[in-house]
Amino acid sequence: MNPVFNFTPRTQIFMGLFLMALMMATRFHHFGDALHLPDASWAIFFVAGFYLSPLWLLALLAEAVAVDAVAIGWLGVSDYCVTQAYAILQLAHGALWLGGRGLRRYVMPDWRGAVALVGFGVAAWFVAFAVSNGSFYWLGGRLPEPNWTEFMQTWADYSLKFLGTMSVYLSAAAVVQWLAHRWVSGASTTHAA
C-alpha cells in the first residue's frame, strides 16, 4: 500500500464528513436535472473504500437509508424503487466499497494507476448494477411477469447512465487526488532542499 493513502484519523474524519455531505446533497436525484446534481452515492462508496477505514462503510450505509427515508417520508420523492429488494441494495453499495478497497493495492501516480482505476471502477459498477437492478427487477414485486427480454431492456436503459454518473465523480476524485499528490510531492521536495 502506498503510504500516500494512509491518512491520519483527523484527515479521515474530514474526508468522511465531506463524502457524507456530498451524499446528503446529491442522493435525491439519480441522474440530476437543471437544479440538482446527479446522485454521487455510487462513487462515494467506491472512494470511501479507497480512502477510509471500514467503519465509514457502516456510517455511509446508515446515511443512505436515512436520506432515502427522509426523501420519501418528508420530501415527496417517489417510493417506487423501495421494494422488498431494497435491503439488497446495501450489497451493491458494499461491492462498490470493496472495489475501492481493492484498488488501493494497484494505484500508482502514472498511467498504470489510471488503468487500475478504470478496471476496478468498471468492475465495481458492473457488480453493483447487476445486484441493484437485478434484485429490483426480479425480487421487487413491481412487475407482474418479469422476463429476460424486459430485464435486458432495463439494463440497456439504465446501466450506462449509472456508469456515466459514477465515472464523472470518480474522474473528479482522481483529478483531486493527482493534484494533492503533486502538491505533497512538491512540498516534500521543497522541505528536503
**More confident: 190 or 43:** 43
Please name which of 130, 117, 49, 180 lies closest in space to residue 41, comparing C-alpha atoms: 49
pLDDT for position 34? 47
| Residues 40, 23 contacting (CB under 8 angstroms) | yes
pLDDT tens for 170-183 read: 999 988 887 877 77
Mean pLDDT over each residue of the chain, to the nearest integer: 87
Question: Would you say the C-alpha torsion 121, 127, 131, 133 has a positive or negative sign?
Answer: positive
The yes-or-no verdict on residue 109 having pLDDT over 80 is: no
Binned at pLDDT 50, 70 and 90, residue 110 comes out as: confident
Name, in order, each residue with C-beta under 8 angstroms of 142's C-beta and a sequence gap of 6 or more. Answer: 80, 83, 136
**More confident: 115 or 113:** 115
Cell digits for 149?
A: 427480454
Question: Would you say the C-alpha torsion 128, 98, 105, 185 has a positive or negative sign?
Answer: positive
Lowest mean pLDDT among 33-37, 99-103, 134-138: 33-37
Residues 83-101, buried b or exposed e (16+ Cβ, 10 A)? bebbebbbebbbbbbbbbb
| Residues 60, 93 contacting (CB under 8 angstroms) | yes
pLDDT tens for 53-98 read: 999 999 999 999 999 999 888 888 888 888 989 999 999 999 999 9
pLDDT for position 77? 83
The yes-or-no verdict on residue 190 having pLDDT over 70 is: no
**More confident: 58 or 9:** 58
Q: Write the CA distances from 108 to 43, 54, 96, 119, 163, integer angstroms.
A: 20, 22, 20, 14, 23
pLDDT for position 3? 47
